[in-house]
Amino acid sequence: MTEVPTLSDVRIHAIYVSPGHNFVGHHGKPPGEHAAEAVPEVECVAGKGLRGDRFFGHRENYKGQITFIAREDIEEVATELGREPPDPASFRRNVVTGGVKLQDWIGRRFRIQGILFEGVEHCSPCYWMDRAVGPGAEKAMDGRGGLRARILSSGILRLNEGEGA
C-alpha cells in the first residue's frame, strides 16, 4: 500500500463555512447574502463535507467537499490587482493555507492534522469573483483559485497559525 504523505508544514490560517450559496444558482440574478463565517475549527465528515457548510451532503462523491486556497496566492492576486489583500472570506473557499503549493496535490491523497483528503482539481475562478473580490479578480486568479478536494476520513480541522508560523 502506498504511504499517504502528511502535510506537516502546512499552516491553516483561516477556516470558513457558509450556510448558503451566494453565487451557485444565481446566474442572471443578484448574489446571495450568506456570510462566510470564520471558525477556529470545523468537523470534516468523510464523503459529506464540512458540517455547517453550504456544500455539506451536496451530492455523492462531490469533488468540492472542501476547498483550499493558499494565502500566498491571495497575496499574489492582490499584488496583480494593485491593492491590499482582500478579506480571504471573499474568495468563498473553506480553508486558507500557507506553506504548501496546492496545485501539487491534484490527483493525490494527503493528510492534514490526521484527516485524509484527495485533491481533485483546480478550483477555477468564475465571473462572480470580479464582484466578490474586486474588478479583475477572475483573470488574476487564473491558476491561483485553489484546490477542490474530497474528504476521505472524518476529523476536526483546526487553525494552527500560531504553532511556529
pLDDT tens digits along 143-157: 888 999 999 999 999
pLDDT tens digits along 46-60: 999 999 998 888 888
CA 5 to chain centre: 20
C-alpha cell at 156: 476536526
11-158: CATH, from 2.40.33.20, 3.40.1520.20, 3.40.50.620, 3.40.30.10: 2.40.33.20
pLDDT tens digits along 100-135: 999 999 999 999 999 999 999 998 777 667 776 777
pTM for this model (two decimals) = 0.83
User: Cell 485533491 maps to which residue?
Assistant: 119
Give the residue extent of every domain in the chain: 11-158
C-alpha cell at 79: 499584488
Residue 7 carries which DSSP code?
-
Average pLDDT of the residues of the chain: 83
The answer to whether 112 and 29 are in contact (CB under 8 A) is: no
The dihedral through the CA atoms of 97, 123, 24, 155 has a sign that is negative
